[in-house]
């Protein structure tokens, strides 16, 4: 899609599979982009982009066609928080007081049901807070019926998270995948529908895990530092890894963060070259992972 973007964060594909909403982390802008038009600003959310903070993710309400609501995970001068954004209205707070640090602020949002908003929060550079039950830092948090008034207390699905990467769900079995950057390794973790947690894969070389997309036993993961997208293949039912991750993108478009599936089955990414390197060589864009229309790499495909 058209470039000329600042470093991106959240990405939402549109039903036509040829347009998207993309968030710019450092500017707070949410832009409409397509394969046939210049980017158009939809809204600008006030954020504090210091360190790795700013506008860190966006997600649409499951009933967006009726309520026109968008949720965002942002940094302010004092904290990280989840807000709700309505057309032609000021943002409203949903969850405030998530600790903010010089780093470790990145995180993600995901609706896992029409009423459950999941928030991945970073450890704000302090791993001790990630393991503190009283802190909102370094957690996977569930918000039921997210609202601006009398919000029910959040519940914790996972603690001990490092710097936040991405969230995605497998539409077949409902498992949720969590990516984070821990002190000693980057991790891909799995939370089943019955809340069982397991570590799927670790990267001791810490390549910078970011966004993910999952379907039918395969999880695609962006590795920012190495300019790769890899496919982690899992056994049906058990979720056990069936082999080392396969590299499905190397260097093309540079450093990428977000990954999202489109309605036609393709997978799209968005880049962070202006903040994570190669800003002089590569623009920041939204791009198709399989530009020739190739399908999602399934776990049981013959790789010979």
Residue 94 structural domain: 45-161
Token reading at 206: 């810490």
Quick check: is 153 in a domain?
yes
Mean pLDDT of the chain: 93
Distances (CA, A) of 243 to 196, 219, 240, 299: 22, 13, 9, 10
Question: HEC states along 197-251?
Answer: EEEEEEECCCCCEEEEEEECCEEEEEECCCCEEEEEEECCCCCCECCCCEEEEEC
HSE-CB of 158 using CA atoms within 13 angstroms: 27
pLDDT confidence of residue 81: 98
pLDDT confidence of residue 298: 65
Quick check: is 272 in a domain?
no
Element (H, E) at 174: none
Say what percent of the chain tops pLDDT 70.
Answer: 95
Quick check: is 166 in a domain?
no
Quick check: is 179 in a domain?
no
- The confidence band for 106, taking pLDDT boundaries of 50, 70 and 90, is very high
Max Cα–Cα distance, the chain, nearest Å:
56
Which are the contacts of 150, defined by CB distance < 8 A and separation ≥ 6?
Answer: none
Phi, psi for residue 223 in degrees, rounded to 5:
-110, 105
82-91, 101-110, 290-299: which has the minimum mean pLDDT? Answer: 290-299
Owner of token pair 């347009």: 19
Say what percent of the chain tops pLDDT 90.
Answer: 81
pLDDT at 45 over 50: yes
Quick check: is 50 in a domain?
yes
pLDDT at 292 over 50: yes
Token reading at 18: 């040829």
CA distance 74 to 91: 11
CA distance 122 to 138: 5
The residue-averaged pLDDT of 116-124 equals 98
- The confidence band for 291, taking pLDDT boundaries of 50, 70 and 90, is confident
Long-range own/partner contacts, residues 82-86 (CB < 8 A, 24 or more apart): 82/109, 82/117, 82/119, 82/143, 82/146, 83/45, 84/146, 84/148, 85/43, 85/45
The residue-averaged pLDDT of 270-280 equals 85
Q: Number of folded domains in the chain?
A: 1
Token reading at 32: 């409409």
Quick check: is 233 in a domain?
no
CA distance 275 to 255: 9
CA distance 33 to 8: 12
Which are the contacts of 66, defined by CB distance < 8 A and separation ≥ 6?
Answer: none
Quick check: is 178 in a domain?
no
Question: Smallest Cα–Cα separation from 179: which of 138, 142, 127, 221?
Answer: 221
Task: Tell me which of 85 and 296 has the higher pLDDT.
Answer: 85
What pTM was computed for the model? 0.94
Query: What does the pLDDT look like over 46-87, one tens digit per residue?
Result: 999 999 999 999 999 999 999 999 999 999 999 999 999 998
Quick check: is 64 in a domain?
yes
The residue-averaged pLDDT of 124-153 equals 95
């Amino acid at each position: 899609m058209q470039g000329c973007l600042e470093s991106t964060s959240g990405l939402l594909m549109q039903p036509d599979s040829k347009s998207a909403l993309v968030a710019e982390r450092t500017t707070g802008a949410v832009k409409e982009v397509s394969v046939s038009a210049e980017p158009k600003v939809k809204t600008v959310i006030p954020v504090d982009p210091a360190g790795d903070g700013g506008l860190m993710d966006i997600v649409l309400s499951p009933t967006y066609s009726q309520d026109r609501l968008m949720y965002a995970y942002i940094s302010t001068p004092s904290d990280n928080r989840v807000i709700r954004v309505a057309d032609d209205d000021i943002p409203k707070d949903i969850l405030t007081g998530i600790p903010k640090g010089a780093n470790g602020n990145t995180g993600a949002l995901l609706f896992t049901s029409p009423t459950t908003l999941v928030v991945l929060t970073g450890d704000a550079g302090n791993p001790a807070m990630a393991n503190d039950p009283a802190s909102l830092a370094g957690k996977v948090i569930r918000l039921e019926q997210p609202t601006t008034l009398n919000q029910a207390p959040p519940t914790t699905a996972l603690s001990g998270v490092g710097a936040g990467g991405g969230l995605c769900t497998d539409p077949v079995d409902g498992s949720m995948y969590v990516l984070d950057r821990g002190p000693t390794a980057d991790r891909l973790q799995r939370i089943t529908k019955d809340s069982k947690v397991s570590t799927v894969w670790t990267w001791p070389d810490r390549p910078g895990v970011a966004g993910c997309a999952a379907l039918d036993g395969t999880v695609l993961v962006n590795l920012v530092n190495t300019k790769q997208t890899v496919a982690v293949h899992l056994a049906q039912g058990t979720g056990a890894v069936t082999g080392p991750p396969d590299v499905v993108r190397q260097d093309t478009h540079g450093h990428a963060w977000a990954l999202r599936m489109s309605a036609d089955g393709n997978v799209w990414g968005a880049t962070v070259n202006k903040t994570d390197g190669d800003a002089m060589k590569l623009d920041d864009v939204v791009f198709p992972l399989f530009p020739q229309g190739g399908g999602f790499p399934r776990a049981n495909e013959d790789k010979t």
